C-alpha cells in the first residue's frame, strides 16, 4: 500500500501533502478495527507527522489535503470553516435527472436514523447546500459534478438520495445494487462463477479542490484523475448506454 500511495501523491512541499486517495483506504483509524490501514499510518513513517484537515469516506477516491505543520493545519482549518475551499466531486448516480443543474438546499442531520445515515431534517438539521450539474447522461445512469458549499458528513450522498438519484453502488442510501456489465451490454451472460461488478463501491470521486497555500498565499487547484474502477465504469457506460434524446 505504501508504494501505491507514493504513486498517488499529487503535490508535496513543507506545508502540504496532496493525495489522490484510493477507494477502500480510511482517512483516520477505524474505532472498530484498529489494524485497518489508514492515511496517517501509511504516510507518517516517510513524511513525518501529518495533520488531517478534512476526510473522505472509505469508499470515496480523490483529492485529500494533508497538513505537514501545525501552522498549515490551523490555516487550512480556517479556510474550510469559512467555506473558502472549492470542493468538487464527480458522482455517478442512478437515473436520468429531469434537470441540467440544481441547487440542493436541504437541512441535514448527521447520524439521523438507526442505520447511522445523514438524513434530511428540516427542523433539526443543519443548513446544507450542494450545487450539482449534469456532466454526461447514459440513460439509466448520469455523471454529475457536485460542488459542496457546506461540508456535512455524507452530504453528497444524502442530498442526491433525497432527490431520488442515489450514487451508483451506494447501498446504504438506496442504490439497488452495484454496477454490473450485464445491466449495460445486451446479451452479456456472466460465467458459472457469477459476475464481478464493474464498480463495487459508491460512485463518488473527489475530482478537484482549490484553496490558498498556507505559507505563500497562492491560490492552488488540484485535480485527481479517476481510478481504474471509476474510469472503467464510465468507459463502459459510454460504450453501451445511450442518453435519452428528450433530455
Q: Is 47 exposed, middle or buried (0-12, 13-18, 19+ CB in 10 A)?
A: middle
Question: Is there a contact between 133 and 144 (Cβ–Cβ < 8 Å)?
Answer: yes
Q: How far apart are CA 167 and CA 190, in angstroms?
A: 24
Query: Known catalytic residues?
Result: 57
| Residue 180 CB neighbours (<10 A) | 17
> Residue 188 has what DSSP assignment?
-
Instruction: Report how far apart, in Å, the C-alpha atoms of 38 and of each of 5, 116, 146, 198, 203 are.
Output: 11, 22, 25, 25, 20
Amino acid at each position: 500500500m505504501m508504494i501505491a500511495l507514493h504513486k498517488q501523491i499529487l503535490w508535496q512541499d513543507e506545508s502540504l501533502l496532496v493525495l489522490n486517495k484510493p477507494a477502500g483506504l480510511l482517512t483516520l483509524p477505524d474505532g472498530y478495527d484498529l489494524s485497518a490501514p489508514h492515511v496517517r499510518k501509511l504516510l507518517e513513517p516517510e513524511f513525518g507527522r501529518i495533520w488531517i484537515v478534512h476526510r473522505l469516506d472509505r469508499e470515496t477516491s480523490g483529492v485529500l489535503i494533508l497538513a505537514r505543520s501545525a501552522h498549515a493545519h490551523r490555516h487550512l482549518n480556517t479556510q474550510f470553516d469559512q467555506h473558502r475551499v472549492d470542493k468538487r466531486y464527480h458522482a455517478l448516480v442512478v437515473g436520468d435527472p429531469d434537470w441540467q443543474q440544481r441547487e440542493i438546499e436541504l437541512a441535514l442531520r448527521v447520524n439521523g436514523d438507526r442505520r447511522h445515515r445523514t438524513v434530511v431534517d428540516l427542523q433539526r438539521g443543519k443548513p446544507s447546500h450542494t450545487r450539482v450539474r449534469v456532466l454526461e447522461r447514459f440513460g439509466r445512469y448520469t455523471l454529475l459534478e457536485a460542488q459542496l458549499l457546506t461540508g456535512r458528513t455524507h452530504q453528497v450522498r444524502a442530498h442526491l438520495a433525497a432527490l431520488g438519484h442515489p450514487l451508483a453502488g451506494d447501498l446504504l442510501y438506496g442504490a439497488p445494487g452495484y454496477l454490473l456489465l450485464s445491466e449495460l451490454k445486451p446479451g452479456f451472460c456472466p460465467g458459472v462463477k457469477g459476475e464481478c461488478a464493474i464498480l463495487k463501491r459508491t460512485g463518488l470521486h473527489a475530482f478537484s479542490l482549490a484553496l490558498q497555500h498556507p505559507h505563500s498565499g497562492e491560490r492552488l487547484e488540484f485535480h485527481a484523475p479517476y481510478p481504474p474502477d471509476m474510469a472503467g465504469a464510465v468507459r463502459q457506460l459510454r460504450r453501451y448506454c445511450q442518453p435519452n434524446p428528450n433530455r
